[in-house]
């Protein structure tokens, strides 16, 4: 691997950290732990189910449920039964949540313009194409070999706490490659 190829991930990570800092310093600061992202998606998907939001936001449904609960406690969203299906619930922005989300969206737009101000339209389009290509490549490689029947041979911090990993249904890998049910 060339030196340039080895430096690319570091440069990418550095740019990502700087961009995150710029976005964090702009706009209202009264949201925490994914609530801003939730409200951003609800601006265009108000009333969506948590399942749809989790898929769109690329989050685990359980993680999203925590974010929704926190946002609801803060008065940014409300959860109500869906008009289409009584079995599902929709997540809706409150007036306060909508106000904050719109302010954040405007601030994020200003930051994006600031970040890419030194790029020409052609360079922006080229960068967008390269990032889309990188994203597609990473998605394919990250999901390569994923299937429901695949054995889970790792344990996360959460699995040690709760005696199991959600992907492998609570089974643990032994040294001799045999699974033992923990339930």
pTM: 0.62
- For the record, the structure tokens of 88 come out as 């599902």
DSSP 71: H
What pLDDT is recorded for position 128?
93
At residue 180, does pLDDT exceed 80? no
What pLDDT is recorded for position 1?
59
DSSP 144: T
DSSP 77: E
pLDDT in tens, 93-117: 999 999 999 988 898 899 999 999 9
CB 179 within 8 A of CB 168: yes
pLDDT in tens, 18-58: 888 887 777 666 667 788 889 989 999 988 999 999 999 98
Stretch 9-23: mean pLDDT, rounded?
Answer: 87
Q: State how far the Cα of 104 lies from the Cα of 26, in Å rounded to an integer.
A: 8
3 state DSSP class of 173: strand
Q: Which is more confidently placed, 130 or 20? A: 130
Alpha-helical regions (H) of the chain = 3-25, 35-45, 50-57, 61-73, 95-115, 121-143, 157-162
């Amino acid at each position: 691997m060339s030196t340039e190829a080895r430096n690319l991930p570091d440069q990418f990570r550095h740019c990502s950290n700087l961009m995150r800092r710029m976005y964090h310093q702009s706009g209202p600061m009264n949201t925490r732990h994914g609530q801003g992202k939730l409200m951003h998606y609800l601006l265009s998907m108000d009333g969506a189910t948590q399942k749809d939001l989790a898929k769109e936001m690329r989050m685990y449904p359980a993680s999203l449920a925590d974010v929704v609960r926190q946002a609801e406690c803060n008065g940014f969203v409300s959860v109500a039964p869906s008009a289409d299906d009584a079995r599902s619930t929709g997540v809706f922005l409150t007036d306060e949540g909508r106000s904050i989300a719109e302010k954040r969206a405007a601030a994020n737009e200003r930051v994006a313009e600031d970040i890419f101000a030194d790029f020409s339209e052609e360079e922006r389009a080229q960068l967008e194409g390269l990032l889309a290509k990188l994203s597609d490549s990473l998605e394919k490689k990250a999901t390569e070999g994923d299937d429901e029947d695949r054995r889970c041979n790792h344990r996360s911090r959460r699995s040690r706490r709760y005696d199991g990993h959600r992907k492998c249904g609570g089974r643990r890998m032994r040294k001799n490659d045999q699974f033992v049910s923990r339930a």
